[in-house]
Amino acid sequence: MSTPIVPKLIVTASPHVRSQDSTPVIMWNVVGSLVPIIAAAAWFFGVSALLVVLAAALGALLTERGIGRGGTLADGSAVITGLLLGLTLPPGLPLWMAFLGGAFGIGFGKLVWGGLGQNVFNPALVGRAFLQAAFPVAITTWPTVGGSFWTLKGDLFAFPFTRPNTDAITSATPLGLLKFEGKGTDVLHLVIGNTGGSVGETAALVILACGAFLAYKSYLNWRIPTSILFTVAVFSTLLHLIDPRRPDALFMLFSGGLMLGAVYMATDLVTSPVTNRGRWVFGAGIGVLVVVIRVWGGLPEGVMYAILFMNALVPFINRATQPRVFGTRLGSAT
């Protein structure tokens, strides 16, 4: 008998096979699913939208590369953070602010916690919260939709730490119109996205479609957006029935950053619960907070704070919703 030759035996622990979905595969699929949303943003806001997203992404990537441990760019998670942050910013925001937001989001939202998988708060929203606190005027200056593709909106190239020129033609977001002027907006415009608002938050239908793709590939958990949207719909319908001057469910669902927040921000794997029951609770909490902030809060929009607040509760939600171990009954010895 001849001796079979296996030149170098690999010895690993079981299991010796694994499924196809790796962490980079998941991350880069999410990045890919953002492309249609960015394209929609370019359609509505022109080249300005692309520049803002690019600046935020650059800030995120350079920070990850600069102060993160080596070789973590390839996992794609910093790209997601940068792109998502860019999509939540106004199309006319000075680019240096967008860049700073990306850098802050990665630096303080992710790297100081220990990098990928360790952070408690969604890094993109940490970056946005920072911008909201640091530049409250610039981040609520909404250029109008329309105009030529090449028209630069707002004061994109404002020099850092100078007062940006905000004299350009601006409009209010549908939520702002409602809150401060009592004006409604046609739901059809909200669904399509040709309203004032952040770069990538207005095209609700496109976001839903991209989310459906990710959910189909099981790269995001459908329970979280479902739970958020359902809660918002029920809660706002209830309030609308009590006081018809309050917005109805359709307006609530399709305005502001709710769609992007529900589909992309709240479903961030790292900062959402690991149990399915926890995901329902997490989504419901966000839904309630969104409506509460929008209806009774001082700000027109509350998705960002709602998600950040619920992020903080994730460890507790996880602990409270641990699955029942096989062979143990509720109430029996643990």
Residues that bind another protein (CB under 8 A): 1-6, 8-19, 21-26, 75, 77, 115-118, 221, 269-270, 272-276, 318, 322-328, 334
**Shortest separation between residue 268's beta carbon and another protein, angstroms:** 9
| Separation of alpha carbons 7 and 321, rounded Å | 49
- Specify the residue, 6 or 137, whose C-beta has the smaller distance to another protein: 6
Query: Smaller CB distance to another protein: residue 203 or 308?
Result: 308
Q: Give CA separation, 130 vs 12, 39, 85, 106, 107, in Å.
A: 45, 26, 11, 12, 12
Measured distance CA(39)–CA(44) in Å, rounded: 9
Q: Which is nearer to another protein, 137 or 333 (CB)?
A: 333
Instruction: Extract the tokens encoding 34.
Output: 């953002």
Alpha helices in the chain (DSSP H): 23-45, 47-67, 77-87, 95-109, 123-134, 174-176, 187-192, 204-216, 223-242, 249-254, 258-260, 276-296, 303-320
Task: Determine contact, residues 221/31, Cβ cutoff 8 Å.
Answer: no
Give 137 or 325: the residue with its C-beta nearer to another protein. 325
Cβ of residue 316: shortest distance to another protein, in angstroms? 14
Q: Which is nearer to another protein, 168 or 274 (CB)?
A: 274
From the CB of 114, what's the least distance to another protein, in Å? 8
Based on CB atoms, which residue is closest to another protein, 151 or 218?
A: 218
Amino acid at residue number 222 = W
Minimal distance, residue 116 CB to another protein, in Å: 5
**Angle, vertex CA 244, rays to CA 241 and CA 247, nearest 5:** 95
Tell me the DSSP string of 140-188: G-EEPS-S-TTPPPTTTTPPTTS-----S-EE--HHHIIIII-----HH
* Cβ distance to another protein smaller for residue 241 or 312: 312
As a whole number of angstroms, the distance between CA 199 and CA 101 comes to: 15
> Can you give the C-alpha Rg of the chain in angstroms?
22
Q: 155 or 268, CB closer to another protein?
A: 268
| Cβ count near 265 (within 10 Å) | 28
Smallest distance, Å, CB 79 to another protein? 15
The token pair at 334 is 């643990």
Q: In whole angstroms, how close is the CB of 19 to another protein at the nearest point?
A: 5
Q: How near is the Cβ of 1 to another protein at its closest, in Å? A: 4
What residue type is 256 in one-letter code? G
Q: How far is the CB of 65 from another protein (least distance, A)?
A: 17
Q: How far is the CB of 225 from another protein (least distance, A)?
A: 15
Contacts 24+ apart (CB under 8 A), 205-213: 206/36, 206/37, 206/40, 207/37, 207/259, 207/260, 207/263, 207/264, 208/259, 208/263, 209/36, 210/33, 210/34, 210/36, 210/37, 210/263, 211/33, 211/263, 211/264, 213/33
Closer Cβ to another protein, 69 or 183, answer by number: 69
